[in-house]
């Protein structure tokens, strides 16, 4: 009987002295610049070694709307020598390269580049 009592007392003391679960720390955003992102997609011009580029910044668009980059003066679709050529143009607007990958649709390779810039 005495051992049962001591055992129960020891178990009660262990339960009382054991640390309780602490709540998870809250996550706060670190101060710093906020960014906006875009996807630059390059696809080859049919029958050539040049490419057209589409820039998607998450804008709302109509069905089948053409988002390829256009010349500001003429409104014609811009044709680039390479993805780097297009990146140099977007770099002038503050965009910087984050990551790139490629996809293949059975006919040609499409280049996808993720870019970011500080929110304006």
Domain spans of the chain, in order of start:
35-118
**Amino acid 11: pLDDT:** 62
Q: Rounded to two decimals, what is the model's pTM?
A: 0.66
When the candidates are 3.30.1410, 3.40.50, 1.20.1740, 2.60.40, the CATH number that belongs to 35-118 is 3.30.1410
CB 78 within 8 A of CB 69: yes
What tens-digit pLDDT sequence spans the chain (120 residues)?
666 665 666 666 555 565 666 666 676 766 667 999 999 999 888 777 899 999 988 888 777 778 888 988 999 999 999 999 999 999 999 999 999 999 998 888 889 999 999 988
- Sequence-ordered list of residues with C-beta below 8 angstroms from that of 34, at least 6 positions apart, any chain: 118, 119
What angle is formed at CA 104 by the lines to CA 101 and CA 109, rounded to 5 degrees?
Answer: 75
Among 53, 57, 41, smallest CA distance to 113 is for 41
């Amino acid at each position: 009987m005495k051992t049962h009592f001591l055992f129960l007392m020891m178990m009660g003391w262990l339960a009382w002295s054991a640390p309780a679960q602490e709540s998870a720390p809250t996550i706060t955003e670190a101060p710093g610049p906020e960014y906006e992102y875009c996807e630059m997609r390059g696809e080859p011009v049919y029958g050539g070694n040049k490419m057209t580029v589409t820039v998607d910044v998450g804008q709302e668009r109509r069905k089948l709307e053409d988002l390829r980059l256009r010349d500001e003066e003429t409104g014609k679709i811009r044709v680039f020598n390479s993805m780097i050529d297009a990146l140099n143009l977007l770099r002038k607007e503050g965009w910087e390269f984050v990551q790139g990958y490629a996809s293949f649709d059975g006919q040609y390779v499409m280049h996808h580049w993720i870019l970011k810039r500080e929110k304006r």
